[in-house]
Structure 1
């Protein structure tokens, strides 16, 4: 068995061709996923940044620590207190310090960082010993849940059953920290790149094995690969990953236990 580069997912099961300029553009959407990988690798679940003065805040439950750093000189690391979440989704942390206190509020609302041009999911207010900092923030908990093995159960509204020469369901194993996805179409093995942020996920380009697949498996494989060309929005809940396009479910996966 040998592998070949899928030069165009639209012709995934055909002979390999040199990629066209048009297809390269399709793999690079106007709005690339924001890059939170370094925070994900560190285990940070909440991140906030601000300007004038520049500051950053990270909440890391695995290390049990809140870290705050400012170019104005207010920098500290302290243990995480109990998290308070209001009915409207507002997240609060109140930390008594030796002198004064640290108060953090993440309020759900679209927030644009005017310096970087990046859009965030929260408006954030940080009060450090009476000094007030305003900025934007994000929760990476949903992104962290993406990193798992997912088996396809529904494709474009139709239930998927095991098929192909291996009698298996299509599967994706997502590792955002490595920027890689591996898996199977139900017939051929695949691997490639993946990027995601809190709003969207983008796959490709892909490498896959070149095993001949009879219909209807071959037709499904082509449709499956075609669907992976463009970015998706996504939802992760109750052991299910739903990939959506224009707010409509395109694929539903179940987490492998």
Structure 2
């Protein structure tokens, strides 16, 4: 009995030590949750929350669903629920009548700490079933965060400033560009003369730049850079169309940027209707002329889900979660830079698959199979899953 008690105390100590050393950074900031966040992103989740005593969780996908679950308790699955934003604060409220009663979820922008792990979140979340004073009233409190939009994580080059096309020769060091790190909530880039950097706030479709810091070089036509950096301060929202990033506010279009790693920069997704057959989930069947073997991949055969709606790819490479953008027409295809989690994987099988995506420039679909090619050479064959 004494040995069992000692062992139990040791286990608790070991778990506590691991939480302190691994889950929390020295300044008590958010843990490195890249794998978790990438999975949430690939699953289409926009906001997640959880709480303790009792344990509960919530996943929200804008315009799709809201799922709330309590361990050994209530389970509520709603379809699309429209949120209402407070006029004078960053507070969102979602409400809908359900079989379990009237459901309300309120999201407050304020620091929130998980009272078990100590993990820091950016939002406090309160879920209520029915109204205070009702006999069956229940209240759940916890913390949550928005899932980073990893599609922004790339370098974007200025295409239009306001209603004017950007001209390379107007800027001493080439067209301005922006590079986002959505997990760190930072941006950097080139203003056309100086290096620029700063913080960025991204929440759903909202995007706001913090104060822009820059180097202090003087260049001819410096006023063009000044116009660009001042324009950043007016941005309040964004949207992605094909390989273009549109920054705007309720009153005006601020600027349009594009991803230089993708071709067809002057086209939008409406011009790629012929590529609708790509819109499916595909699993690797053959690569470099040989049949793919499931045993070679830590988490099963590589699988990708291609979405024409937002020109995105998400899935797994056989080990890590992956995502990227793409663009295509009737026969040409180009995948953008691939974001992936950082799990160490045995062998080169996943890297070989990612190389296929990086090198593919043509495709064809025959007999429910997607052929990815480099010119006329078939790199891989993927099979439609349904």
- Cα distance, 1:154 vs structure 2: 0.4
In 2: Cα distance, 1:249 partner to 1:132 partner: 39
SS in 1 for 2:226: helix
Counterpart contact for 2:247–2:255, Cα < 8 Å = yes
**Structure 1 position 60 matched with structure 2 position 40:** yes
In 2: Cα distance, 1:40 partner to 1:173 partner: 21
**Structure 1 position 224 matched with structure 2 position 198:** no
**Matched ranges for 1:151-170 at <5 A:** 151-163=157-169, 164-166=171-173, 168-170=174-176
Match of 2:247 among 243, 251, 254: 243
Match of 1:148 among 151, 154, 157: 154
**Structure 1 position 119 matched with structure 2 position 86:** no
Which residue is equivalent to 1:178? 184
In 2: Cα distance, 1:209 partner to 1:231 partner: 22
Which residue is equivalent to 1:109? 82
- Cα distance, 1:222 vs structure 2: 1.4
Q: Which has the larger radius of gyration?
A: 2
TM-score by length of 1: 0.56
In 2: Cα distance, 1:68 partner to 1:205 partner: 29
Distance 1:184 1:103, change over 3 A: same
Distance 1:68 1:227, change over 3 A: closer
In 2: Cα distance, 1:106 partner to 1:139 partner: 20
Structure 1 runs not aligned, ≥5 long: 1-36, 46-58
Counterpart contact for 2:180–2:187, Cα < 8 Å = yes
Distance 1:238 1:212, change over 3 A: same
**Matched ranges for 1:13-32 at <5 A:** none
Counterpart contact for 1:124–1:134, Cα < 8 Å = yes
**Structure 1 position 208 matched with structure 2 position 217:** no
Counterpart contact for 1:203–1:228, Cα < 8 Å = yes
Give deviations 1:89-138, integer Å, cap 9, x for gaps: 3426699x99898442253423358xxx64338547888xx687531579
- Cα distance, 1:184 vs structure 2: 0.4
The CA RMSD over aligned residues, in Å, is 4.7
Which residue is equivalent to 2:105? 135
- Cα distance, 1:243 vs structure 2: 1.0
In 2: Cα distance, 1:169 partner to 1:68 partner: 40
Distance 1:119 1:184, change over 3 A: same
**Structure 1 position 193 matched with structure 2 position 166:** no
SS in 1 for 2:219: coil
Which residue is equivalent to 1:10? none
In 1: Cα distance, 2:175 partner to 2:228 partner: 12
Which residue is equivalent to 1:254? 258
- Cα distance, 1:149 vs structure 2: 1.5
In 1: Cα distance, 2:48 partner to 2:190 partner: 41
Distance 1:142 1:248, change over 3 A: farther
TM-score by length of 2: 0.39
Structure number with greater CO (CA < 8 Å, separation at least 6) is 1
Distance 1:159 1:99, change over 3 A: same
In 2: Cα distance, 1:150 partner to 1:225 partner: 15
- Cα distance, 1:188 vs structure 2: 1.6
